[in-house]
């Protein structure tokens, strides 16, 4: 039977603690609920150039590993400079002869078709995304794939309305665009980059991350099925040298990068002095701020979603929790109780809340930074749970007694690790939230609308969520300040970064 624990308290609202708590322990265990849809994976994936799958000129391939069990999934083509040249040549020809001259309403038909085909194969792509990246299937199924399709739908709607992107001005495409995306949201980042670029009339050469190339190359199959003209989108897989060849290629009129701040700086230095346009969506160390009048239970759910969504592999993750001192103890207590309920394990199980860390290298990075947090004196909490014997897994972790001088409060960990700090006044909350090199996102939890508006103007972040977290929409621009990058993706603002005013 579950136990009923009753706690004395003089003011339940002030403390935020429940009068009683049901603890079920391991009384009931979930049966496995694996997703059984066929991801239709191939043993080998070639490059997608000029609407065809072609082997790399060097004949080199590398392995894609399933982080949940460390097994090989497929061989991925390793593109080098000659392959990148071929991709840019195909894109330039498509832009000059077909896509750049095509009326927007005709481009819209292709983009709309891509969105519908992605919807038709949603379960297949969701399973492939989970196998390749390690994220829980319920996130791939309910967020990644639907949101990717939504971006194609949204930009298909813009393609014949480009006269309204910049009122009073005419817009024109830039030409050929080079893009590099990260491993945390492979399919969604692909849609974020490709959809606005081709809606505006540009052609694309894009590289997915080396650890998560499969859904990007599978999307090539959809481009073929949609009848997209050859050369409009070219997908070349590989490592850092492949990305460097894309970013520095003389044909590129613009480059777009999503990834770490360190790599973003290298790219900016490499193309300094050229006429290339750039957008950079880089790292973050977001503050999730909870005031004493916030709906505590709702805020705890938002905190969990803010840091443990996609194992914390999110550039805008709420990795710094700033809690008003009057409710700090109550929030921390409720948060620990909630974290104990999270299920860590097989990403393909529909019951799983936290899947596998994307790679062995990223797991080592998380372990190193957590060890530093302990060494520097922060108090670590991890729930007791069994982790799978094989695969890259890490328990959800909460550090309390953290100060701004702690490395875990300053450096992006990119994992399921939360640092908890406290504040006494609104000004102190703003000062602590802005005391970072980053400026990508923030969250505010309060009952006062005036406080939300004030915080939204004073927080140096590109996105500020109010009484929610990690809410995305293709109609809403996303991007950061400071070392979180520049430029916007999504909405009318995102389209403006893929055009020139004429």
SS (H, E, C) 25-73: CCCCCCCCCECCCCCCCCCEECEEECCEEECCCCCCEEEEEECCCCEEE
- Residues 307-318 have a mean pLDDT of 97
The alpha carbon of residue 366 and the mean position of all alpha carbons in its chain are separated, in whole angstroms, by 17
Percent of the chain's residues with pLDDT above 70 = 95
Q: What is the pLDDT of residue 108?
A: 98
One domain, residues 314 and 451: yes
124 is catalytic: no
Q: Report if residue 11 sits inside a domain.
A: no
3-class DSSP state of 360: helix
One domain, residues 251 and 162: yes
Whole-angstrom Cα distance, residue 147 to residue 352? 21
Give φ, ψ of 475 to 5 degrees: -80, -10
Rounded to the nearest integer, the mean pLDDT of the chain is 94
SS3 per-residue string spanning 73-111: EEEEECCCHHHHHHHHHHHHHHHHHHHCCCCHHHHHHHH
315 is catalytic: yes
Q: How big is the chain, counted in residues?
A: 502
Q: Report if residue 495 sits inside a domain.
A: yes
pLDDT range class, residue 13, cuts 50, 70, 90: very low
One domain, residues 404 and 425: yes
Active-site annotation holder among 281, 412, 483, 489: 281
Q: What is the pLDDT of residue 66?
A: 98
One domain, residues 274 and 363: no
What's the DSSP call for residue 394? -
pLDDT range class, residue 495, cuts 50, 70, 90: very high
Domain with 362, as residue range(s), is: 284-466
Strands 417-423 and 485-486: unpaired
Q: What is the pLDDT of residue 29?
A: 79
Q: Report if residue 26 sits inside a domain.
A: no
Q: What is the pLDDT of residue 25?
A: 59
Whole-angstrom Cα distance, residue 145 to residue 489? 18
3-class DSSP state of 190: helix
- H/E element holding 421? strand 417-423
Active-site annotation holder among 139, 210, 315, 316: 315
- Residues 231-247 have a mean pLDDT of 97
Whole-angstrom Cα distance, residue 443 to residue 299? 10
Q: Report if residue 24 sits inside a domain.
A: no
Joined tokens for residue 75: 């061989």
The per-residue pLDDT for range 274-304, each reduced to its tens digit, is 999 999 999 999 999 999 999 999 999 999 9
One domain, residues 139 and 174: yes
Whole-angstrom Cα distance, residue 120 to residue 135? 21
Whole-angstrom Cα distance, residue 343 to residue 387? 10
Q: Report if residue 312 sits inside a domain.
A: yes
Q: What is the pLDDT of residue 30?
A: 84
Question: Residue 105 in contact with residue 218, Cβ under 8 Å?
Answer: no
Q: Report if residue 367 sits inside a domain.
A: yes
Q: What is the pLDDT of residue 441?
A: 97
Q: Report if residue 1 sits inside a domain.
A: no
The per-residue pLDDT for range 16-58, each reduced to its tens digit, is 454 456 666 566 778 899 999 999 999 999 999 999 999 999 9
One domain, residues 120 and 232: yes
One domain, residues 347 and 430: yes
Joined tokens for residue 133: 């990246």
Count of structural domains, the chain: 2
Q: What is the pLDDT of residue 28?
A: 74
* Cross-sheet strand order for the sheet of 233-235: 52-54, 47-49, 233-235, 203-207, 176-180, 254-258, 277-281, 485-486
Q: What is the pLDDT of residue 14?
A: 47
Q: What is the pLDDT of residue 401?
A: 97
3-class DSSP state of 418: strand
What is the CATH number for 312? 3.40.309.10
pLDDT at 73 over 50: yes
One domain, residues 249 and 365: no
- Residues 451-469 have a mean pLDDT of 97
pLDDT at 329 over 70: yes
One domain, residues 209 and 297: no
Between 154 and 21, the higher pLDDT residue:
154
Q: What is the pLDDT of residue 17?
A: 52
What is the CATH number for 242? 3.40.605.10
One domain, residues 407 and 358: yes
In 10 A of CB 361, how many CB atoms?
10
Q: Nearest-5° angle of CA 340, CA 302, CA 327?
A: 80
pLDDT at 1 over 80: no
- Residues 377-391 have a mean pLDDT of 95
Q: Residue 255: beta bridge partners?
A: 178, 278
Question: Residue 129 in contact with residue 186, Cβ under 8 Å?
Answer: yes
Q: What is the pLDDT of residue 12?
A: 43
Q: Which residue has the tokens 């980053």?
A: 438
SS3 per-residue string spanning 211-274: CCCHHHHHHHHHHHHCCCCCCCEEECCCCHHHHHHHHHCCCCCEEEEECCHHHHHHHHHHCCCC
Q: Report if residue 25 sits inside a domain.
A: no
Q: What is the pLDDT of residue 5?
A: 46
Q: What is the pLDDT of residue 26?
A: 63
pLDDT at 351 over 60: yes
Percent of the chain's residues with pLDDT above 90 = 93
One domain, residues 212 and 234: yes
One domain, residues 404 and 266: no
The per-residue pLDDT for range 102-130, each reduced to its tens digit, is 999 999 999 999 999 999 999 999 999 99
* Range of lowest pLDDT (19-33, 319-333, 477-491): 19-33
């Amino acid at each position: 039977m579950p136990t009923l624990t009753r706690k004395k308290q003089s003011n339940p609202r002030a403390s935020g603690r429940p009068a009683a708590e049901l603890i079920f322990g391991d009384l009931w265990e979930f049966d496995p609920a694996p997703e059984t849809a066929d991801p239709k994976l191939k043993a080998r994936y070639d490059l997608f150039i000029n609407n065809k799958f072609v082997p790399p000129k060097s004949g080199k391939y590398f392995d894609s590993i399933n982080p949940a069990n460390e097994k090989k999934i497929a061989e991925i083509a390793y593109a080098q400079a000659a392959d990148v040249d071929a991709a840019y040549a195909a894109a330039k020809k498509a832009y000059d002869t077909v896509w750049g001259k095509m009326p927007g309403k005709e481009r819209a038909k292709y983009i709309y078709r891509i969105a519908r085909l992605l919807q038709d194969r949603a379960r297949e792509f969701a399973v492939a995304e989970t196998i390749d990246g390690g994220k829980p299937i319920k996130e791939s199924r309910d967020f990644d794939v639907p949101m990717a399709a939504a971006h194609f739908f949204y930009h298909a709607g813009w393609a014949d309305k480009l006269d309204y992107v910049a009122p009073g001005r005419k817009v024109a495409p830039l030409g050929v665009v080079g893009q590099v995306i990260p491993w945390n949201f492979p399919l969604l980042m692909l849609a974020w980059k490709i959809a606005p670029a081709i809606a505006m009339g540009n052609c694309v050469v894009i590289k997915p991350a080396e650890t998560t190339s499969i859904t990007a190359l599978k999307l090539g199959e959809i481009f073929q099925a949609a009848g997209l003209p050859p050369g409009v989108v070219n997908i070349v897989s590989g490592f850092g040298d492949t990305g460097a060849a894309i970013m520095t290629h003389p044909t590129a009129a613009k480059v777009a990068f999503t990834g770490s701040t360190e790599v973003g700086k290298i790219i900016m230095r490499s193309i300094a002095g050229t006429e290339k346009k750039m957008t950079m969506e880089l790292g973050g160390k977001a503050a999730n701020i909870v005031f004493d009048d916030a709906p505590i239970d709702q805020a705890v759910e938002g905190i969990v979603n803010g840091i443990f969504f996609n194992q914390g592999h999110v550039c805008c993750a709420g990795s710094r929790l700033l809690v008003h001192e009057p409710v700090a103890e109550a929030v921390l207590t409720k948060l620990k109780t909630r974290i104990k309920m999270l299920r860590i394990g097989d990403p393909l199980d529909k019951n799983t809340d936290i899947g596998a860390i994307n790679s062995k290298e990223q797991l080592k990075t998380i372990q190193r930074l957590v060890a530093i947090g302990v060494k520097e004196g922060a108090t670590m909490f991890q729930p007791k749970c069994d982790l799978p014997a094989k695969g890259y897994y890490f328990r959800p972790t909460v550090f309390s007694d953290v100060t701004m001088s702690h490395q875990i409060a300053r450096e992006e960990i990119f994992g399921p690790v939360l640092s908890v700090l406290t504040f006494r006044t609104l000004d102190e909350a703003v000062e602590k939230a802005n005391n970072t090199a980053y400026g990508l996102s923030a969250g505010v939890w309060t009952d006062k609308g005036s406080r939300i508006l004030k915080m939204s103007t004073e927080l140096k972040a590109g996105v500020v969520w109010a009484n929610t977290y990690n809410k995305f929409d293709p109609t809403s621009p996303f991007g950061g300040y400071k070392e979180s990058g520049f430029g916007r993706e999504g909405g009318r603002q995102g389209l403006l970064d893929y055009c020139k005013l004429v």
